[in-house]
Amino acid sequence: MIDIKKLRENPEIFKEGAKRKFVDIDIDKILYLDNKNRELQSQIDKLKHEQKKLSLDFSKNKNKDLYEKIKLIKKEIEEKENEKESISNELLSLLYLVPNPPAKDVPDGKTEEENVPIKFWGQIPNFDFEFKDYISLMKELNLVDLERGAKVGGFRQYFIKNEAVILELALLRWSLDFLKEQGFEIFRPTSLVKKFTLYGTGMFPQGEEETYKLEEDLYLAGTTEVPLMGYFSDEILEEKDLPIKMAGISCAFRKEVGSYGKDVKGIFRVHEFWQTEQVILHKNDLEETIFWHEKLLENIEKMMQLLEIPYRVVNVCAGELSLGQVKRYDLEAWVPSQKRYRETHSDSYLLDFQTRRLNIRYKDKNGNLHFPYSLNNTAIAVPRILIPLIENHQQKDGSIKIPKVLVSYCGFEKIPAD
């Protein structure tokens, strides 16, 4: 959630930010409700002060007229408090929809086609044989069963099999070891979360239709970021303990309602997947946020280089950013069969957008309270990462070479052809 004080002081910045993100929100109405809300509170405070004064007078002088006046003031207070509650609720519902303005160096645009490539790494493979797409390869090597997955679990479900199961586990474990070496504390959080965590991370209200609901206040998280950010909700941290670097592993669930017709075959866009995620909380300093944003990018670039997968990094355009994201890099892996790069990692910073919603604060050395800034980035998501890994490492004899960094985790150097 944005800082209402900043909105009052610089409404044009938020109007322009919403425009760049293609978010239809009435900033003037929010300012009107905010002003009305503060006026009502001022009136309530004055009436309560008057009520207290009259009550003291009445305790000394049991005057009937004074008693009736106190009753009228009490009724007026109740009426104004009810009005204020109604306005406060409307104001809060609108504030939840106000986007964080994008950073100045975020490109304008509405769709992923307008994202700006800023870096390329790796040699796109030039196969001297007729290469195959990952679905053909995985089926031939008995690594996946999409048909029985759909039979058992429905659309976008799947069975990963045999060596591919070991490969997935190897990727997840290796990514945690890698992040632990970078100073991250390791978590295996719950995938079951309460509604406040989804509002707190900015997934709600916009993404509610994408989320599986189990009970009135229990949902399946669509990313490990949600429970990790909820971990410190309603807590006061100490500045000396910042930055806090969390690496989580959990299963994630998404309805993919907004992706109708996209990637309907295969394992790129699925309802259920495992991931490791990076989350950082640090003091409210923009320069430090930019440092960690680049550091998180550096982490996943190093990981992709060790996996020997060609990739590019794009600066995501404003229209593709979520409400809370100020800036985001997407890392996209080269998929030979599709002759294009596909997103495998998203690296974002959100300033205090999430920590305000989750009421996470820290105390500085002078005892003052502040909202920390937050960032997040994928580490590894399976089965999606299997697509570029398998396609780029396929061999002429139909086998799949395992990247050197994973051999000790897998226990084999290749997935042999039948």
Question: Cα–Cα distance between 349 and 278 in angstroms, integer?
Answer: 12
46, two tokens: 């004055």
169, two tokens: 């586990």
* Residue 340: active-site member: no
- Name the β-bridge partners of 347: 329, 377
Active-site option among 88, 233, 259, 269: 269
Cis status, amide bond into 310, omega within 30 of 0? no
Which of 252, 321, 387, 355 is CA-nearest to residue 107?
A: 321
For the chain, how far is it from start to end, CA to CA, in angstroms?
55
* Residue 156: active-site member: no
* Residue 254: active-site member: yes
Active-site option among 163, 277, 320, 343: 343
- DSSP character string of 324-357: S-SEEEEEEEEEGGGTEEEEEEEEEE-TTHHHHH
Which of 289, 301, 304, 298 is CA-nearest to residue 348?
A: 289
Count other C-beta atoms under 10 Å from residue 85's C-beta.
Answer: 12
Question: Cα–Cα distance between 274 and 174 in angstroms, integer?
Answer: 14
Which of 339, 326, 329 is CA-nearest to residue 388?
A: 339
Q: From residue 328, how far is each of 96, 107, 266, 378, 385 by CA, in Å?
A: 20, 11, 26, 12, 19
> Exposed, middle or buried: residue 4 (CB in 10 Å: 0-12, 13-18, 19+)?
middle
Which of 37, 10, 9, 13 is CA-nearest to residue 94?
A: 37
108-111: list long-range contacts, CB under 8 Å, 24+ apart: 108/20, 108/317, 108/318, 108/319, 109/317, 109/318, 109/319, 109/320, 110/22, 110/317, 110/319, 110/320, 111/317, 111/319, 111/320
- Give the containing element (helix H, strand E) for 389: helix 386-392
Which of 294, 331, 338, 296 is CA-nearest to residue 316?
A: 331
Active-site option among 254, 356, 357, 361: 254
User: 147-159 b/e with 16+ CB inside 10 Å = b?
Assistant: eebeeeeeebbbb
Active-site option among 156, 277, 384, 391: 384
- Name the β-bridge partners of 400: 394, 415
Active-site option among 322, 346, 348, 374: 346
Q: Any idea which residues carry the catalytic annotation?
A: 254, 269, 343, 346, 384
